[in-house]
Amino acid sequence: MTSSKYALEEQLIMEVESHRILYDKSNPDHKYKNKIQNVWKEISYVLGEDDVINNCLERIKNYDLILTDSEHKVVKEFIKILDVFGKATDVFQGSKYPTLNLTMIFHVEIKDKY
């Protein structure tokens, strides 16, 4: 990597740091995508490097698809909840036996767990 490439990256870091809207989720404007896009356009103009900005934005999109630890825990809990309903669905779709009395078993299981 050339020194000019390092200089560009350092300048990009300084630009991003000076715009808290890009990374500070407590910033009230962080939730507005159009405001964030405008800041990226401004940074692109200042740096004169559209390719670098587009590369960063593509990486950010990929990073946003990764679940955080807390989101992962929520998904695991949701799967546990849905598992009970999946079992109940498997049992209730039986056509060769009465299923109404089986509802009480799953009602109790759901009530006890949740």
54 plus 74 within the same structural domain: no
56 plus 87 within the same structural domain: no
Q: Which residues of the chain have pLDDT under 70?
A: 1-5, 61-67, 94-102, 114
46 plus 88 within the same structural domain: no
Q: Based on the number of CB atoms within 10 Å of its own CB, is 11 exposed (0-12), middle (13-18) or buried (19 or more)?
A: middle
How many Cβ atoms from other residues are within 10 Å of residue 53's Cβ?
A: 17
58 plus 11 within the same structural domain: yes
Please tell me the predicted confidence (pLDDT) of residue 1.
45
Contact 22, 63 (CB under 8 A): no
Please tell me the predicted confidence (pLDDT) of residue 19.
92
Q: What is the pLDDT of residues 43-61, one digit of tens each?
A: 888 888 777 777 777 777 6
Q: Is the pTM of this model over 0.85?
A: no
Please tell me the predicted confidence (pLDDT) of residue 32.
83
| Cα distance between residue 61 and residue 109, in whole Å | 41
